[in-house]
């Protein structure tokens, strides 16, 4: 779905040919349509407006019945070219870093393939992300998007960290299955979110349990893919479903959760300091259902990074097997360990984690 706003009469005339709609009946009943449009401008509750839209739909296909959002025929060469030039303009003239494409699964694959070719020819490192709620394998084969909004991963995180409806082995299995459904390069550039403008706020889903949210953030910032922060999550903004999740940012520092903000900053710094967390390999190390402990390793040629998560309500001692002896640092809890037999025993607080760094 692509939104288009027509600013004046001339632009409407100009686009009459280019932006061809999928008409369902002809001729268009203009008078009836004008009455419907007037009704929808009244200050009516959204439920009533929605009922009007679906009871008296326009004579052309739309997105979700919204008359201002007609379905455009992007297989029409002129229409296709118009939007490709729009995409090029913002890259060439404004220098944006990429595109987030709304309801991308509603657009033909051929269009997105040409979209990618045109954008990458101008700016090879431009990031192209699609909004696709399902497992998006067809869009991630290297011909269309660099990544998509990783809603399936978000559901797995909610089931494990918030609802606690799956155990450690199920958590790891679901993660492995999701990784296996798309190519490695796409896994590395997936837009890993815990919430968006279309979902309830994560802290609200946690019922304001800040420890559950922090544990999720530790995972999000150390897992394979590109972690994303929805504005306000970093200062503890709450909100139920749309539109409550889109409420205004809290700018007054005294009303912000500064502790959570500092935690976000710390996790971002850790991720930036150790490239293994961005481009390193991923390997599961521990799946302990009894203690509810999950551990994995990210590594590159310089560092091995071991992430340990305690999703239990109790403290636990965790034994970690290492690749070498020597000094290891827990950069999350700011501790130092010396391994003499290629093992470490870490005491983890409930609903908390550790990030152990060792040089190769």
Average pLDDT, the chain: 90
Domain finish residue from 247, 276, 305:
276
CA angle (20, 143, 223) in 5-degree steps? 120
What residues make up the domain containing 34? 21-69
Domain membership of residue 178 (yes or no) is yes
Catalytic residue, from 37, 68, 102, 169: name it. 102
DSSP states of 61-107: -EETTEEEEEPB-TTSHHHHHHHHHHHHHIIIII---EEEETTGGGS
Question: Is 110 considered catalytic here?
Answer: no
Find out whether 59 and 24 touch, Cβ atoms under 8 Å.
Answer: yes
Co-location of 333 and 256 in the same domain: no
131 catalytic residue (yes or no): yes
Ranges 29-38, 238-247, 326-335: which has the least confidence: 29-38
Residue 165 contacts residue 159 (beta carbons within 8 Å): yes
Decide which of 18 and 93 is more confident. 93
In a domain, 145, yes or no: yes
Q: Same domain for 87 and 231?
A: yes
Distance CA 332, CA 265 (A): 12
One domain, residues 227 and 352:
no
Residue 11 has pLDDT above 80, yes or no: no
Interval 20-44: pLDDT, tens? 556 555 555 566 677 777 888 888 8
Q: Which of 114, 131, 146, 304 is catalytic?
A: 131
Average confidence (pLDDT) over 84-108: 95
Quote the number of domains for the chain: 3
User: Are 27 and 134 contained in the same domain?
Assistant: no
Name residues whose C-beta falls within 8 Å of residue 189's C-beta, 6 or more positions apart in sequence. 127, 146, 147, 225, 226
Q: Cβ distance 227 to 213 under 8 Å?
A: no
Kindly state whether residues 349 and 245 are assigned to the same domain: no
Whether residues 163 and 206 fall in one domain:
yes
């Amino acid at each position: 779905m692509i939104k288009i706003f027509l600013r004046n009469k001339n632009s409407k005339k100009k686009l009459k040919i280019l932006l061809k709609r999928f008409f369902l009946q002809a001729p268009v009943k203009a008078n009836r349509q004008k009455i419907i449009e007037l009704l929808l401008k009244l200050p009516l509750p959204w439920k009533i407006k929605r009922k009007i839209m679906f009871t008296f739909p326009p004579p052309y296909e739309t997105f979700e019945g919204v008359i201002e959002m007609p379905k455009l025929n992007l297989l029409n060469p002129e229409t296709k070219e118009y939007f490709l030039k729009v995409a090029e303009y913002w890259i060439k003239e404004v220098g944006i870093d990429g595109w987030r494409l709304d309801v991308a699964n509603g657009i033909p694959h051929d269009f997105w393939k040409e979209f990618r070719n045109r954008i990458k020819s101008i700016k090879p490192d431009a990031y192209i992300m699609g909004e696709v709620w399902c497992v998006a394998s067809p869009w991630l084969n290297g011909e269309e998007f660099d990544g998509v909004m990783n809603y399936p991963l978000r559901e797995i995180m909610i089931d494990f960290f918030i609802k606690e409806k799956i155990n450690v082995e199920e958590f790891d299995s679901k993660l492995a299955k999701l990784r296996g459904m798309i190519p490695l390069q796409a896994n590395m550039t997936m837009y890993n979110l815990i919430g968006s403008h279309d979902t309830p706020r994560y802290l609200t889903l946690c019922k304001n349990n800040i420890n559950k949210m922090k544990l999720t953030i530790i995972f999000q910032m150390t897992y394979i893919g590109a972690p994303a922060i929805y504005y306000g999550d970093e200062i503890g903004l709450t909100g139920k479903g749309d539109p409550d999740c889109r409420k205004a940012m809290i700018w007054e520092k005294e009303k912000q959760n500064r502790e959570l903000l500092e935690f976000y900053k710390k996790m971002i710094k850790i991720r930036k300091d150790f490239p293994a967390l961005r481009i390193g390999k991923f390997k599961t190390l521990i799946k302990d259902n009894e203690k509810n402990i999950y551990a994995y390793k990210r590594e590159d040629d310089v560092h091995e990074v071991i992430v340990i998560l305690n999703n239990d309500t109790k403290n636990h001692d965790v034994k970690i097997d290492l690749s070498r002896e020597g000094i290891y640092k827990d950069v999350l809890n700011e501790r130092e360990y010396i391994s003499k037999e290629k093992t470490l025993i870490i005491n983890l607080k409930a609903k908390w984690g550790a990030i152990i760094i060792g040089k190769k």
